[in-house]
Amino acid sequence: MPDVLIMRHGEAAPGYPDQARRLTPHGEQEAGKMARWLTERVADGKLFMPRIYASPYARAQQTAQRLCEALGTSLETLDFITPDGSPHAVSDWLLEQPESTPIMLVSHMPLVGDLAGLLVEGSPAQGIGFPTAAIAEFEAEVWAAGCAQLKRFTQPSQL
Question: What pLDDT shows up at residue 48?
Answer: 93
Domain count, the chain: 1
Alpha-carbon distance of 61 to 130, in angstroms, equals 18
Q: In 3D, which of 132, 143, 55 has the Cα closest to residue 95?
A: 143
- Average pLDDT over the chain, rounded to whole? 95
Average pLDDT over residues 98-108: 93
Share of the chain above pLDDT 90, in %: 91
- pTM across the whole model: 0.96
Question: What pLDDT shows up at residue 1?
Answer: 59
14: alpha, beta or left? (left if phi > 0; alpha if psi -120 to 50):
beta
Which residues form the domain of 69? 4-158
Which strands make up the sheet holding 75-77, listed edge to edge? 75-77, 51-54, 103-107, 4-8, 135-140, 148-154
Tell me the per-residue pLDDT of 14-73, one tens digit each, with 9 for 90 and over.
999 999 999 999 999 999 999 999 999 999 999 999 999 999 999 999 999 999 999 999
Domain of 83: which CATH number? 3.40.50.1240
